[in-house]
Amino acid sequence: MVKNGVINQYTYVIDPLSVGLEICVFVQMIVPIPSEVPDFIHQINFLDEVQEYHYITEEYSYLIKVRTRNTIMLERFLTEKIKSINDVVKINTIIALSTFKGSHANQDTLTI
Structural domains of the chain ordered from first start: 11-111 (3.30.70.920)
83 touches 95 (CB < 8 A): no
Query: What average pLDDT is seen over the chain?
Result: 86
Measure the CA–CA gap between 53 and 28, rounded to whole angstroms. 10
* pLDDT reading at 54 higher than 90: yes
Read off the pLDDT of residues 17-39 as tens digits, 9 standing for 90 and up. 888 899 999 999 999 887 778 88
Rounded to two decimals, the pTM is 0.80
Helix or strand holding residue 39 (H, E): helix 37-45
